[in-house]
Amino acid sequence: MDLSIGGRRIEAGSTVLALLGAANRDPNRFGDPERFDVGRDEGPPMSFGSGIHFCLGAALARLEGQIVLDRLLDRFRTMELTGAPAVYRDRLTLRGLVDLKIHFGR
């Protein structure tokens, strides 16, 4: 049976792919969502899921991130984007950076 969702007609038998593409970048929920802000406190992100779907590696990933950022901040006085464009994966899922040029100064 054909149906309509959000004003778009979907024919019976069509493949429909539902994604949470905005997830942690929803401007209706997060102020300046594209800005990296380690101190951001606007509610829990969807990064590691929730409930029975919570990521088993979440604690390790958070610890790794904390260690990396602590070491970088201890070692370098400044970290600045070079101005080169960020390069992102060209995917529907598991999106993220492929390349981000940063200049580290002492």
Tell me which residue has tokens 């969702």: 5
**Is residue 104's pLDDT more than 70?**
yes
pTM, two decimal places: 0.60
| SS3 of residue 72 by DSSP | helix
Q: What is the pLDDT of residues 60-83, one digit of tens each?
A: 999 999 999 999 999 999 999 999
pLDDT band at residue 20 under the 50/70/90 scheme:
low
Tens of pLDDT, residue by residue over 89-98, are: 888 777 788 9
The whole-angstrom separation of Cα 17 and Cα 106 is: 47
Confidence label for 48 from pLDDT (cuts 50, 70 and 90): confident
d(CA 70, CA 77): 12
38: pLDDT strictly greater than 70: yes
The pLDDT, as a whole number, for residue 31 is 87
Count of residues in the chain: 106
Domain spans, the chain: 46-75, 77-106
Percent of the chain with pLDDT over 90: 47
**Quick check: 21 pLDDT over 80?**
no
